[in-house]
Amino acid sequence: MSKRVQRFAMEFIALIASIVIFWIPLYFVIITAMKSPREASLMDLALPQVNLLWENIKEVFVYRDYMLVRAFYNSTVLTLASIALLVIVSAMAAFVMQRRTDRFTPWLSLLVLMGLIIPPAIVPTIWVLDGLQLFKTLPGLILVEVALGFPFCAMLYRGFVASIPKEIDEAAIMDGYSGFKLFFKIIMPLLQPVTATVIVVQAVTIFNDFTNPLYFLPGVKNVTVQLTLYNFTSQFVSQYNLLFSNILLITIPPLILFIFFNKRIVAGMTAGAVKG
Amino acid sequence: MFRRIYSYKFLLPAAIVYIVIFIVPTLMSFFFSLTRWNLSTYEFIGLKNFQMFFSEPSLLIGFKNTAIYAVVTSGLKVVLGLLLGVFLTLGLRLTGYLRSVVFFPTLVSTIAVGITFTVMMHPTEGIINMGLQMLGIDGPDWLGDRKLALLSVAFVDVWKGVGFATVIYIAGILSIPQEYYEALQIDGGNSWNKFWSIIVPLSRPATNSVIILSFIGGLRSFDLIWAMTKGGPGFATDVIASIIYKQYQGGFYGLATAGNVILFIFVTLLVYPLSRYLTKNEVDL
């Protein structure tokens, strides 16, 4: 009996702690987004007198000539294009890196591993992008996201390619398949579970990325959602209701991914972590 | 024949992007760190940028803060992640709910988290100090106090990142074979023994992953600090990454690049021996 009481006490304490530590901040964001500027400036947990959530969200969207709409558009293009490139480029590279063993392969692995550890050199990257006339452009930023996301994705793919028996390759080769046909017709479909993992993990990472857009995509025309939020902190100093409406809006896409792909995200992140 | 099938052509697209956008800038950073430049023209000035970094107090503080930040965040993530991992593998009710709640902040935008906590940490009207006041505690000025600000940001970093450490620990703990627990039961061990003699040593691979990943993350961290304090008050929360950004903004490209080279060396110098040391002491299951 006392064991059951003990268990119940532990569960109860955990529940209270989770509410205080995790739900109160979320509640704070939501109710502040519903308030008038005056109420929001009190920074408290009181309920709003009138729910102005809808008005606040509209105001945030309209602000500065629909800047946030442009930001959502840019972030969506950035996320989708980077993921599409990452999937194809990393899967192809991982396939050959796992299957081939010669003098170069250890060096290749080392080079990829370095990408996981070394912080990117900022200004020289700008210099390279500038030379290619890609600085301050969305395609330039997409290439940066691909280059920086590649090591993690390649590692995930390589781990999975190792579990595909080589006999499958051999059978296909016997049937006269070329390397590319083998990869695109047989291997790539088999990699589908990792592809799903790569897509959701990178979607969250790239959508939430702040540092790279800050450096490589400056300018009002080029904002991403994280940049607008950051810029709003100086523009909405006395309008926390609008600032937190924006926070709420930005949190929705990851929340949707989390609700539908919770297991995949966790699996992908832990797999990447343990192998690295 | 396999050489033809597994052609290096497969590597080509990845290699082009990776080399042009990542490897070339990394190599060039060693050269440009020795110059004063403005993207189009440069002047070779030797080690002056590095001398500046090691003599200017506002730059020097970056090393100390980066090290403190990395050690505090990774240390707390290991301890809390392990405890939460154990708690969430006890088979209690609410486990699924708690796991989701602890993990979700990992997926929220760092800037959003930073702004929210900055407002909640307001010294007189923020809800954190209001809550403490109800308990009769006079809350400190979390982000305004020079001694405390860096730790406050580190605390938010842990709040956001501990879910990641927790899921790694859960995976590690669940992979411990059941026989160990049975053997302990026969020997009459209690749950204290179970924690110290089985779970802690046998989840070493998880511990190593958490330490390495959060340590690297801590050394490189920029966005949370920038969203919360911008390196202030004064230079109290400036880390190497935020100093790089400030120098870049000021147009000191050579100096910013020297900062990058220093961060590169700092990270490699600390992470390589650390990971060697950790994996050497791993126990085989």
Chain A residues with beta carbon closer than 8 angstroms to that of B267: 117-119
pLDDT band at B274 (very low <50, low <70, confident <90, very high): confident
Q: Which helix (H) or strand (E) holds B44?
A: strand B42-44
The answer to whether residue A54 sits within a structural domain is: no
The answer to whether residue B93 sits within a structural domain is: yes
Q: What is the pLDDT of residues B232-256, one digit of tens each?
A: 798 999 999 999 999 999 989 999 9
The answer to whether residue B22 sits within a structural domain is: no
- Global pTM value: 0.91
Q: What is the pLDDT of residues A217-240, one digit of tens each?
A: 998 788 999 999 998 888 877 788
The answer to whether residue B27 sits within a structural domain is: no
B35-37 vs B42-44, strand pairing mode: antiparallel
Number of structural domains in chain B: 1
DSSP 8-state code for residue B108: S
Tell me which residues of chain A have a pLDDT lower than 70. Answer: 1, 272-276
Q: What pLDDT is attached to residue B1?
A: 58
Residue B114 has pLDDT above 60, yes or no: yes
B109/A251 CB distance under 8 A = yes
A127/B32 CB distance under 8 A = yes
The answer to whether residue A28 sits within a structural domain is: no
CA-based nearest residue in chain A for residue B84: A14
B32/A244 CB distance under 8 A = no
User: What residues does B36 pair with on adjacent strands?
Assistant: B43
Q: Where residue A89 sits, what CATH number does that domain have?
A: 1.10.3720.10
Residue B268 has pLDDT above 50, yes or no: yes
Give the residue-averaged pLDDT of B68-95: 93
The answer to whether residue B18 sits within a structural domain is: no
d(CA B87, CA B213): 22
SS (H, E, C) B208-232: HHHHHHHHHHHHHCCHHHHHHCCCC
Q: What pLDDT is attached to residue B273?
A: 87
Q: What pLDDT is attached to residue B283?
A: 56
CB B202 within 8 A of CB B283: yes
CA-based nearest residue in chain B for residue A33: B116
Residue B149 has pLDDT above 70, yes or no: yes
Quote the mean pLDDT of chain B. Answer: 90
Residue percentage of chain B with pLDDT more than 90: 54
The answer to whether residue A255 sits within a structural domain is: yes
Compute the nearest-CA separation of B18 from chain A (Å).
5
User: What residues does B42 pair with on adjacent strands?
Assistant: B37
B117/A226 CB distance under 8 A = no
Q: What pLDDT is attached to residue A152?
A: 92
User: Which structural domain range is residue B181 located in?
Assistant: 58-280
A148/B22 CB distance under 8 A = yes
Q: Where residue B174 sits, what CATH number does that domain have?
A: 1.10.3720.10
Best probe of the B interface among A26, A38, A103, A122, by most B CBs < 10 A, is A122
Q: What pLDDT is attached to residue B65?
A: 94
The answer to whether residue A51 sits within a structural domain is: no
Contacts for B275 with CB less than 8 Å, ≥ 6 apart: B208, B212
Chain B residues with beta carbon closer than 8 angstroms to that of A93: 10-11, 13-15
d(CA A79, CA B67): 32
Of residues A23, A143, A262, nearest to B17 (C-beta): A143
Of residues A15, A123, A225, nearest to B257 (C-beta): A123
d(CA B42, CA B34): 10
Compute the nearest-CA separation of A56 from chain B (Å).
17
Q: What pLDDT is attached to residue A179?
A: 87
User: Which structural domain range is residue A234 located in?
Assistant: 63-275
Number of structural domains in chain A: 1
Q: What pLDDT is attached to residue B248?
A: 93
Q: Could you tell me the CA-to-CA distances from A123 to A140, A243, B157 in Å, in that order?
A: 14, 31, 26
ipTM: 0.90
Chain A residues with beta carbon closer than 8 angstroms to that of B219: 119
The answer to whether residue A187 sits within a structural domain is: yes
Q: What is the pLDDT of residues B38-62, one digit of tens each?
A: 888 888 888 988 998 888 888 889 9
Q: What pLDDT is attached to residue B87?
A: 92
Q: Which two tokens stand for residue A63?
A: 């602000």
